[in-house]
Chains A and B, each alone.
Chain A
Amino acid sequence: MPRRSDLSSVLVIGSGPIVIGQAAEFDYSGTQACRVLKAEGLRVVLVNSNPATIMTDPEIADATYVEPITTEMIEKIIAKERPDALLPTLGGQTALNAAVALDEAGILAKYGVELIGANIAAIQAGEDRESFKQIVDRIGGESARSRICHSLQECLDAAGELGYPVVVRPSFTMGGAGSGFAHDEAELRRIAGQGLALSPTTEVLLEESILGWKEYELELMRDANDNVVVVCSIENLDPMGVHTGDSITVAPAMTLTDREYQALRDIGIAVIREVGVDTGGCNIQFAVHPETGRIIVIEMNPRVSRSSALASKATGFPIAKIAAKLAVGYTLDEIPNDITRETPASFEPTLDYVVVKAPRFAFEKFPGADPTLTTTMKSVGEAMAIGRSFPEALQKAMRSLEKSGVGLTWAGEPGDKDELVRAAATPTEHRLRQVQQALRAGATVQELHDSTKIDPWFLDQMLRLEETARELAAAPALDAGLLRGAKQLGFSDLQIGEITGKSEDVVRELRHALGIHPVYLTVDTCAAEFEAQTPYLYSSYDEETEVPAGDRPKIIILGSGPNRIGQGVEFDYSCVHASFALSEAGYETVMVNCNPETVSTDYDTSDRLYFEPLTLEDVLEVVRAEQLTGPVAGVIVQLGGQTPLGLARRLKEAGVPIIGTSPEAIDLAEDRGEFGKVLAEAGLPAPKYGTAYSFEEAKAAADEIGYPVMVRPSYVLGGRGMEIVYSEEMLADYIERNAEVSPEHPVLIDRFLDDAIEIDVDALYDGTDLYLGGVMEHIEEAGIHSGDSACTLPSITLGKEDIERIRRSTEAIARGTGVRGLINVQYALAAGVLNVLEANPRASRTVPFVSKATAVPLAKAAARVMAGATIAELRAEGMLPAEGDGGDLPADAPVSVKEAVLPFNRFIDKDGDGVDTVLGPEMRSTGEVMGLDTEFGAAFAKSQLAVSGFWPVRGRVFVSVANRDKRSMIFPVKRLADLGFQILATEGTAVVLRRNGVHAEVVRKQSEGPGPDGERTVVQLIHDGEVDLIVNTPFGGAGQSGPRLDGYEIRTAAVLRGVPSVTTVQGLAAAVQAIEARVRGDVGVRSLQEHAQALTASRA
């Protein structure tokens, strides 16, 4: 069937902000879908609140709404755009839920919008555990057996039937409270007894345990003609019990015979048909008993998922793209396979390589959070690697993670064997390392299998690594055979150096002298059966390289590696833009990255894609391979965040041409002393600072600077370990906790600017001219990491003179450091002084936000500047506005607000309690949203709606603020009362309010406990759903454990219940404006295209 002719416009829903479990992969899939639909001649209307995405670039869709993904807002968009159809399967669970809500609210019917690519019944059948179980049953499959019990006796009987261990899940408890594994009757009595007591319905579900079983996933696609193909099989190295997003996974499945694989395939196809997935992608998970082969169907997702993004990158089969085509009527056999161009999409990719995905975690950002991996996903990013063997791919994946402490290493001593074997039984991010160290210490495959349940085949492959390491260690000299053998198993030069007592550089030189280099092979979907047209390459120490010769000058762009807190999709955005802009400017673009979630690793993005780790060794080899086939004009390190930046100097030393800001300039900006000179020369003030090598020195520095001070270790970036210290006592505590203070690891002490306005600037500099991209004013005061604080563009309180000062200062810094391209500067405006906090001569995470808010493609312009264009030329060309810049937006320009999204609801400590949610100098957000409207209140309201999906206009607000905030809180709280809110407050706050004429009902603190007549505490009220908004500012200073603890409990309750929570007085003022805007009801929708037009018009 060709494309449906009755459709002319389609609404696509994106997945919103990056959160744990729903990340950049949906930007990749959504971008693909939008492009395909547009190419099909359809008008594409897009809604996604996340500005840091490629899909929300104005050229990807016809009408792009960066608006909250709520029923209310989407209805406004539908009413305005009147699309024929809604495609909800490419924006993760968010889009699917939004579609269901729109359907339930009757909005789709009201406006005659057809759901395509999915149907409500199929979505619900897939989601609802009970109905899914029935479906599995109907097709002859098996689900985990379970029994619902209402008494201890019933539990004991059921356990007898199911066999130990059993999983106990109490019904209707918060956050899975009271669930656990019972291995015997005693444990069952304890856990089930507690569970029955906890459950409001005295009900627990007992389920047979499939912990330790083998875990598999299949990615399937179905078309309207009922053709089904399996795109990819994935095997989890970590057995059942660890969320697949947190597991090390391998494609294709490694330890199934054809009969077993076909059994999974048959079940998968039967399920997709029975569930009734109309067209598109679908993911299904299985558990397989390692000793009997019994198969249990765990769950299915009737949509494109994280695994489908991985499967697309692993196989070269673009699932989202094909899903979009299927949704508008094509069948699989009508769609050509992009990679071969000759064969159709109705086939199953076959791999002649192995793919390994490894998750990246951020537990260090959440002290107290339980690092055990469970069935709740906790990783914040992932790396993927491709090799011609499992060991090669595994090694590449682990070094792609760029995280110390988790990769495989042969440095130092392995540790105690028994202890390592025992430790590896508990899955954590360190497990693979523990297994490897245990093998080093002499553990056997059997011992490790008994402990971890990891399949012996995988363990034996890891043993191959260990055996080779021993061979290397024992060899009198590294000869070519030995070295090549080690490289074929993925050993890095660094690891070989560790084993043989040489430096990485020496190993590399030796290897090069022996002529040992990797070759680059093509991901071609067909194991070389057909010639591949798409240059998607990976390295291997194999036989024959497949790098095609080019005819244009080449620019290599280094990507940002796995997503992590502080380095997310925003950097990928800049890399992708650079690739687009440089390609348009006539260069051949070459992308290097290892993050499967991203648009940059779509083989459509650049002229050539190398799916490679971003280490010095791997990048040098890519550069060499490219140089062998034509001249490389330059390598861009400035756009991918800290990862490529960290390689800059050593790449340059190795003779690689770096374009844009030089590595020396990058180092200069990082060196406080050198940078201080630049500031001094330009006459720019910076807060006082000191460097301390001991507590005494720290104390002296703090005394000199004056409390409060900001302290941080000097050897980390991104705000790690950064704290605001209000007193000597706290300083001593800090130094004690960060025991590594030493001559190598000094502590930096900065003056902390209380009550300062923090300002973030992104600018372009070409050596002559400065283009001020945007001046963002933070809503929260200085002291909260810029990545975690909300900000507004244009600034809402800065005057023209302030902006001019910022422009002059930014230009002086850019000139002084020698920037060519982007620079990000952070300022704090305090008592009329514009202090320079820091400067980063690179793309910042705000570049996409600034680009969207000002309708200027900043990253594209930056790439052009790096390649030699001037700002004047780019203005003449039209890439930059002919006149003016992001600093002098028209007075009537709409306001954009960026708000951070935090992952606190994902983390609990070992006792099952939440982790604290107070913002601080260390960045912890995973993503961001943007609210755009004519004035600040409405824009801020949208940003809050986009974060929580909910923003109250009436109800009860609970207020409890620190003493220093009491004055500033009175007016906004009074306004809330005037707007009809009922005010609840703790005693101290209530007294202040009452004296200022605001009636506040006193509620009990958690530390006070329930009252004599059973009066509930505020935490109980929150849990009972009786609080609609929380205003709680944290109490600084040590020794105040009471109020601090109260605040902690309030905030964690708010996170659990999803109640909007404001933690600064500035935030409170913004919140009040937002509520006013909502009450007035003048929150409209406007597309980015309209926004750009309006900006251009008012500039002219």
Chain B
Amino acid sequence: MNTAASAQAGPGAAEGGNVSEATGGPAILVLEDGRVFRGRSFGAPGETFGEIVFNTGMTGYQETLTDPSYHRQIVVMTAPHVGNTGINDDDPESGRIWVAGYVVREPARISSNWRAERTLDEELRRQGVVGIALTGTRALTRHLRDKGAMRAAVSTVETDPERLLARVLEQPPMAGADLAGEVSTDTPYEVLPPEGTEARFHVAAVDLGIKAMTSRRLSERGCRVTVLPSDATAEDILALDPDGVFFSNGPGDPAAADVPVAAVRGVLDAGKPLFGICFGNQLLGRALGLGTYKLPFGHRGVNQPVIDTRSRKVAITSQNHGFAVDAPLDGPFDTPYGRAEVSHIGLNDQVVEGLRLLDRPVFSVQFHPEAAAGPHDAAELFDEFIDLMSAQPAPAAE
């Protein structure tokens, strides 16, 4: 009941004027190649470092902010108006905002939505997330498209670009970064099916940066989900005797994720049904002996077309990945776990968007069938996982 949402003016609202003068004091954005963008502070004041990437979604900023895969990344929104619907308590994908910094063109001054609890600006301040409002978000995006994702800093403290640049160059690059441990749960926890839904399967989900919607999509299909920390070993997982194992999305370079790759191999050895999303797809690729590589600027948005190589049907998918698996696109190939194939291909740039073992109940996708934010076109992949678990012979003796 909130038409009076209009009353929730952000802290900067009263000052009026245009974007660059509206919301706060001066702020600068410095890229590692020396390009500088000037803007105004929004959200929390301060200084932040990270890999700068752009997201092309026109909706779903709240989900983006709280997606753990954005850990250590400064996110540029290409959509100019951000924050219009404020922040509500239903839509976060995790317990906190993960982005390292937030770059927008036109931060909303008020929130207008019946579910809104507070403004975006308030939420960023509350969680200490540094943002910058600047005019040239398109110029910035074009730059990143041409030069690739790179290290950057946003600061309201350091006003000298040269000095800030020197510190940007001291930051570690994303390549080689092992970050799952920084976003994962410390202790296992369970997500139960909603009331009225019978728990038919037990899924062990390794949290490498899992989104709330993923557990929800599984649980609403009758899965009891035990979420495990990112350092869970195959033994830890198998000890639960799950019907299926899930490897989640998450931040960082898959090439550095040796522990979870070993866990994937252990699960494969045990013959359990396995499903992976995003980072989970890259882990499966590595477990199968495939390489991974860093994309120039990644796929981040909710409009990415992906074709299913069997049905030839196209799904519009939600994606958020900077790395990809290197696998042959032209048909099945051999792996230590039998034949495999690329199940999905990104139509924009022919990037591998999914893997499937032909002789085992194992598959993964690079995109996000759980969406949030994004279209629900690929939601049936969760049903596919359920089907794989259903098709398994009942436990021999118990």
User: A residues engaging B (CB < 8 A)?
Assistant: 225-227, 229-230, 233, 252-259, 261-262, 265-266, 290-293, 331-333, 342-344, 346-354, 388-390, 445-446, 449, 455-457, 459-460, 463-464, 467-468, 470-471, 481, 484-486, 488-489, 521, 526-531, 541-544
- Report if A293-B313 is in contact (Cβ < 8 Å); known contacts: A456-B6, A464-B17, A544-B139: no
Say yes or no: A446 contacts B139, CB within 8 Å: no
Say yes or no: A542 contacts B314, CB within 8 Å: no
Is B392 positioned at the interface, with any CB of A under 8 Å from its CB? no
| CB interface residues, B 8-50, toward A, < 8 Å | 13, 15-22, 37
- Report if A529-B135 is in contact (Cβ < 8 Å); known contacts: A257-B91, A464-B17, A467-B16: no
Say yes or no: A485 contacts B17, CB within 8 Å: yes
Give 6 pairs: A residue, B residue, CB < 8 Å, sorted on A.
Answer: A225-B314, A258-B374, A446-B4, A526-B303, A529-B56, A543-B136
Provide the bound-state CA to CA distance between A471 and B372, in Å.
Answer: 41
Is B109 positioned at the interface, with any CB of A under 8 Å from its CB? yes
* Seed contacts A255-B84, A528-B138; 9 additional CB < 8 Å A-B pairs: A254-B84, A255-B112, A257-B113, A258-B57, A262-B371, A350-B301, A468-B17, A489-B18, A543-B135
Say yes or no: A290 contacts B79, CB within 8 Å: no
**Which of B13, B113, B347 meets A333, CB within 8 Å?**
B347
Say yes or no: B56 contacts A347, CB within 8 Å: no
Is B2 positioned at the interface, with any CB of A under 8 Å from its CB? yes
Residues of B near A347 (CB, < 8 A) are: 303-305, 316, 347-348
Say yes or no: B108 contacts A388, CB within 8 Å: no
Say yes or no: A543 contacts B373, CB within 8 Å: no
Residues of A near B5 (CB, < 8 A) are: 456
Provide the bound-state CA to CA distance between A226 and B312, in Å.
Answer: 10
User: B residues engaging A (CB < 8 A)?
Assistant: 1-7, 13, 15-22, 37, 54, 56-60, 62-63, 78-81, 84-85, 88, 90-91, 105-106, 108-110, 112-115, 135-139, 141-142, 145, 297, 301-305, 307, 312-314, 316, 347-349, 371-376
Say yes or no: B16 contacts A254, CB within 8 Å: no
Smallest Cβ distance from A519 to chain B, in angstroms? 9
- Report if A528-B305 is in contact (Cβ < 8 Å); known contacts: A293-B115, A332-B314: no
Residues of B near A527 (CB, < 8 A) are: 56, 78-79, 138, 141, 301
Q: Across the two chains, which residue of chain A brings its CB closest to B141?
A: A528
Say yes or no: B18 contacts A255, CB within 8 Å: no
Residues of B near A531 (CB, < 8 A) are: 145
Say yes or no: B115 contacts A257, CB within 8 Å: yes
- Report if A526-B56 is in contact (Cβ < 8 Å); known contacts: A255-B84, A464-B109: yes
Residues of B near A258 (CB, < 8 A) are: 57, 59-60, 62-63, 91, 302, 372-374
Say yes or no: B307 contacts A456, CB within 8 Å: no
Residues of A near B91 (CB, < 8 A) are: 257-259
Say yes or no: A542 contacts B371, CB within 8 Å: no
- Report if A467-B17 is in contact (Cβ < 8 Å); known contacts: A347-B303, A543-B138: yes
Smallest Cβ distance from A615 to chain B, in angstroms? 21
Smallest Cβ distance from A798 to chain B, in angstroms? 60
Say yes or no: A227 contacts B313, CB within 8 Å: yes
Provide the bound-state CA to CA distance between A293 and B5, in Å.
Answer: 14
Pairs A-B, 3 closest by C-beta atoms: A467-B16, A543-B136, A456-B6
Provide the bound-state CA to CA distance between A442 and B112, in Å.
Answer: 21
Provide the bound-state CA to CA distance between A905 and B240, in Å.
Answer: 74
Say yes or no: B18 contacts A485, CB within 8 Å: yes
Smallest Cβ distance from A224 to chain B, in angstroms? 11
Provide the bound-state CA to CA distance between A332 and B314, in Å.
Answer: 9
Residues of B near A489 (CB, < 8 A) are: 18
Smallest Cβ distance from B346 to chain A, in angstroms? 10
Q: Across the two chains, which residue of chain A brings its CB closest to B5?
A: A456
Say yes or no: A459 contacts B138, CB within 8 Å: no
Say yes or no: A290 contacts B139, CB within 8 Å: no
Smallest Cβ distance from B113 to chain A, in angstroms? 6
Q: Across the two chains, which residue of chain B brings its CB closest to A259?
A: B91
Provide the bound-state CA to CA distance between A79 and B257, in Å.
Answer: 71
- Report if A350-B114 is in contact (Cβ < 8 Å); known contacts: A388-B138, A467-B17: no
Say yes or no: A333 contacts B304, CB within 8 Å: no
**Which of A342, A389, A446 meets B81, CB within 8 Å?**
A389
**Which of B79, B90, B312 meets A350, CB within 8 Å?**
B79
- Report if A352-B80 is in contact (Cβ < 8 Å); known contacts: A225-B312, A291-B1, A460-B6: yes
Residues of B near A346 (CB, < 8 A) are: 305, 307, 314, 316, 347
Say yes or no: A471 contacts B16, CB within 8 Å: yes
Say yes or no: A529 contacts B81, CB within 8 Å: no
Say yes or no: A468 contacts B6, CB within 8 Å: no
Residues of A near B17 (CB, < 8 A) are: 464, 467-468, 471, 485
**Which of A342, A388, A485, A529 meets B301, CB within 8 Å?**
A529
User: Which one of B63, B81, B141, B313 has the greatest number of beta carbons of chain A within 10 Å?
Assistant: B81
Say yes or no: B57 contacts A350, CB within 8 Å: yes
Residues of B near A484 (CB, < 8 A) are: 20
Residues of B near A266 (CB, < 8 A) are: 376
Say yes or no: B137 contacts A229, CB within 8 Å: no
Smallest Cβ distance from B291 to chain A, in angstroms? 24
Q: Across the two chains, which residue of chain A brings its CB closest to B9?
A: A460
Residues of A near B112 (CB, < 8 A) are: 255, 455-457, 460
Provide the bound-state CA to CA distance between A55 and B105, in Å.
Answer: 41
Residues of B near A257 (CB, < 8 A) are: 59-60, 62, 85, 88, 91, 113, 115
Provide the bound-state CA to CA distance between A528 and B109, in Å.
Answer: 26
Residues of B near A352 (CB, < 8 A) are: 56, 78-80, 137-138, 141
Provide the bound-state CA to CA distance between A343 and B137, in Å.
Answer: 23
Provide the bound-state CA to CA distance between A351 and B141, in Å.
Answer: 13
Q: Across the two chains, which residue of chain B brings its CB closest to A353?
A: B80
Provide the bound-state CA to CA distance between A457 and B5, in Å.
Answer: 9
Residues of A near B114 (CB, < 8 A) are: 290-293
Smallest Cβ distance from A294 to chain B, in angstroms? 10
Say yes or no: A485 contacts B20, CB within 8 Å: yes
Provide the bound-state CA to CA distance between A1034 and B57, in Å.
Answer: 61
Say yes or no: A457 contacts B56, CB within 8 Å: no
